[in-house]
Chain A
Amino acid sequence: MSKQRLKSELFQALQERYAPDLQLIGEDFQQAVLIEPGRLLEVLAYLKADAAYQLNHLSNLTAVDYKDYYEMVYHLYSLPLKQSLTVKLRCDASLAQVPSVTGLWPSADFQEREVYDLMGITFTGHPQLRRILLPDDFPDHPLRKSYEFNPVEEKG
C-alpha cells in the first residue's frame, strides 16, 4: 500500500512552495499535509490541476472533533497517476467555519452537508448548506464530543 502514496520529493516541493502555511505531518501511511485555512482553496486547486499531482478525485471528506479545534480531513486520489494524498486543516472550535471545496470537486456537496449536519462546521461558499441526515429542526450536532444524549423517558 505504501507505493500508492505521494513521492517524498513531491511532498518537499509542496512544502517549499507554500511554506510557512503548509506543514508535513505524520509518517508512513499517516503522512499528510496540514494547511492554514486561508490558503486551502489555493493549495487544493493547485493539487488538482498541476501535472505532477493531478489529484482529481476527492475520495473522502470528513471532520474530527479534538475539543480545542476541529480537523478537516480530505483524502485525495489521482486516477491518472495512481497516487494519494491526505490534506488536513485545523479550525478553531469557537469559529467552526471553513471554506467549501464544492467549487473544485462537486462531489463534496453531500459530504460537506453531512459534516455540517453532524459536526456543526459551516462551509462558506457551499451552494445549499442544510441538514442532510437529521431533521431540519434537530437542535444539536451529535458527532461533537460535547454532545450529550438525553433520551426522552417513555411514559406508561
Chain B
Amino acid sequence: MPKTQTYTLNMGPQHPSTHGVLQVVMELDGERVVQAIPQMGYLHRGIEKLAESRTYAQFIPYTDRLDYVSSMGNNLGYCQTIEKLLELDIPERAEYLRVIMAELNRIASHLIFMSSVAIDLGATTGMMFGFRDRERILDLFDMACGARLTYSYIRIGGVREDVPPEFMAATRQFLADFPEMLAEYHELLTGNEILYHRLRGSGVISGPRALEIGLTGASLRASGVDYDIRKAEPYGIYDRFDFCVPLGQTGDNWDRYRVRMEEMKESAGIVTQALDALPDGPVMAKVPKVLKPPPGDVYHRIENPRGELGFYVVSDGSVKPYRLHVRRPSFINLQALNEICQGLLIADVVAVLATLDPLMGEVDC
C-alpha cells in the first residue's frame, strides 16, 4: 500500500472564480477537499473606522462600496437606521420609490449571481445573457440618479430627487420584457443538463445547521428555512406588498440557484405593484441641514440580495457617529464554506463559491 499525504493548495486571491480578492486555502487529499479555509482582508478599507470621522450624510457613499452590486439596498439599510434613530417620517412617494429601486437592484444582483454561476461552470454564453439584461436595469438607475453602480440615491429622509417621467415608461417596458428574459434563462441554463448535474446534490447544508452557522438570505432559504426579513420583520412599507418567499428543500447548489431565480420573479412582481400604487407628492422629508441624532444606539436590518444586512449605530449627540458597525451577510455566510466543501471534489468548490455568492467589497468592509 503506497503512503499518501494531503497537500495544500491556494485558490486566490487572484483567481477568476473567487469573485474578487478572496483566498481559499485548501487542504486536499487527491481531488477531494479536506478543508477549505477562506482568508479575507485583501480589500479591507476600514470603513467602520472611517465612519467615525464622517458626518451621518457623508457616510452614504461608503455604503455604496460595501456590496457594490446592490448599492440601493445598502443605501436603504443605512438611511433607515439613521431615520429610526431620528424618528423621521418618510413621504409616501419616497417609500415607494425606495422599494422600486431596492427590488430592481435585487434583480440586477441576482442576474450577476446567475451570470457568475454560468461562467464559473464554463457556460460563457450564459454569462452574456445575464449581463446584457442587467444593463437595462443599470440604464434605469442611470436615468434616476446618473450613476450605474454607486448610486447614493436613497438619502436620509427620502430619496435624492424624483425620477424623470421617462423612467416610468422604461421601467414598465422592462417589466413587460422580463418574463421573456426569465424564460430565456430557464431554457438556456435551468434546463441545461450539464448545469443541472454539476449543481444537483453537491454542496449540501441542512436547514438547522445553516441557521446555526449564520447563513442568511437566499442561501438559508435554499435549505428550507422560511426566513425573509421583508416578511418576518417588515421594514419601510414591505408589509403592503403581496409576494412569495421561494424555498428550497435540500440546501444543495441547485436549490441555491433555483431560489434566486424564483426571487427575481417575485421582485419583478413587487416593482409592478409599487409602480401601480405610486402616489404623487414630495420625495424628501424636512430634514435639518446638520444632522445631530439624540444620544443612543440603534440596530436595524434589511433583506439585501446576499442576506441580512444590519447597521448598528451609536450616537453621542454630535454630527458624527460614535461607532458604526455593519453586519455584512457575505462575511458571515463565508463561515459555511469550509463545512459545505469538506469531502467535495476540488472542481465543486468553485460551484459552492458561486452559489454562496460572497462579494468581497462586503466581506472585507
Contact = CB atoms under 8 A, between A and B. Distances in A.
Given A30-B296, A64-B322, A110 B331 contact: yes
Nearest to B308: A59
A79 B224 CA distance: 13
A108 B40 CA distance: 17
A134 B308 contact: no
A95 interface: no
Nearest to A65: B323
B164 to A, nearest CB: 32
A107 B212 CA distance: 6
A86 B298 CA distance: 10
Contacts of A118: 48-49
Mostly, the A contact residues are mixed
Interface string A1-22: 1001000000000000000000
A106 B233 CA distance: 23
Given A26-B296, A75-B312, A106-B212, A134 B44 contact: yes
Contact of A105 (B41, B212, B314, B323): B212
B314 A64 contact: yes
A10 B159 CA distance: 38
A110 B335 contact: yes
Contacts of A79: 211, 225, 227, 232
B304 to A, nearest CB: 13
B306 interface: no
A46 B280 CA distance: 50
Given A60-B327, A79-B227, A29 B301 contact: no
Nearest to B42: A133
A105 B211 CA distance: 9
Contacts of A29: 84, 298
B297 interface: yes
B212 A4 contact: no
Name the prevailing secondary structure of the B interface residues.
Answer: mixed
Given A57-B211, A143-B48, A143-B49, A133 B312 contact: no
A87 B323 CA distance: 17
A131 B364 CA distance: 13
Nearest to B364: A133
Contact of B233 (A82, A86, A107): A82
Nearest to B212: A106
Interface string A115-139: 0001000000000000111110000
A111 interface: yes
Interface in B35-57: 40-41, 44, 46, 48-49
B99 interface: no
Given A57-B211, A133-B44, A135-B41, A75 B299 contact: yes
A107 B332 CA distance: 7
B39 to A, nearest CB: 9
A86 B331 CA distance: 21
A106 B335 contact: yes
B334 interface: yes
A73 B364 CA distance: 21
Interface string B303-338: 000001010101000000011010100011011000
A58 B213 CA distance: 9
A23 interface: no
A82 B335 CA distance: 24
A107 B296 contact: no
Nearest to A82: B232
B302 to A, nearest CB: 12
A97 interface: no
23 contacts: A4-B233, A59-B310, A59-B327, A60-B301, A62-B325, A62-B327, A64-B322, A65-B323, A75-B310, A79-B211, A86-B299, A105-B214, A107-B335, A110-B335, A111-B332, A114-B331, A131-B41, A133-B364, A133-B365, A134-B41, A142-B49, A143-B48, A143-B323
Interface of A: 1, 4, 26, 29-30, 56-60, 62, 64-65, 73, 75, 77, 79, 82, 84, 86, 105-111, 114, 118, 131-135, 142-143, 147
Given A58-B214, A73-B299, A110-B331, 4 more contacts: A29-B84, A73-B297, A105-B214, A110-B334
Interface of B: 40-41, 44, 46, 48-49, 84, 211-214, 225, 227, 232-233, 235, 296-299, 301, 308, 310, 312, 314, 322-323, 325, 327, 331-332, 334-335, 364-365
**Which 6 residue pairs of A and B lie closest in terms of their CB atoms, listed nearest first?**
A107-B214, A133-B41, A62-B325, A60-B327, A133-B44, A64-B323
